[in-house]
Amino acid sequence: MGGPSRTSIARQRPAEVRAIPLFAYDLNYGDEVAVMSSDEGALVATSVVADKGRYTFRVWREDGDAEVMHAVISDFGEMGCAIELYRDHLLGLACERASVQAVADALSAGEKSGSFVYETGRQQTR
Q: Where are the domains of the chain?
A: 6-50, 55-120
Write out 44-95 in H/E/C secondary structure.
EEEEEEECCCCEEEEEECCCCCHHHHHHHHHHHHHCCCEEEECCCCEEEEEE
Indicate the pTM of the whole model. Answer: 0.84
Q: Is 117 helix (H, G, I), strand (E, B) or coil?
A: strand
Decide: 94 and 29 in contact? Cβ < 8 Å: yes
CATH of 55-120, one of 3.40.30.10, 3.90.1150.10, 3.30.200.20, 3.30.70.330: 3.30.70.330
pLDDT per position as a tens digit, 20-53: 999 999 999 999 999 998 899 888 889 999 999 9
pLDDT per position as a tens digit, 62-107: 998 999 999 999 999 999 999 999 989 999 999 999 999 999 999 9
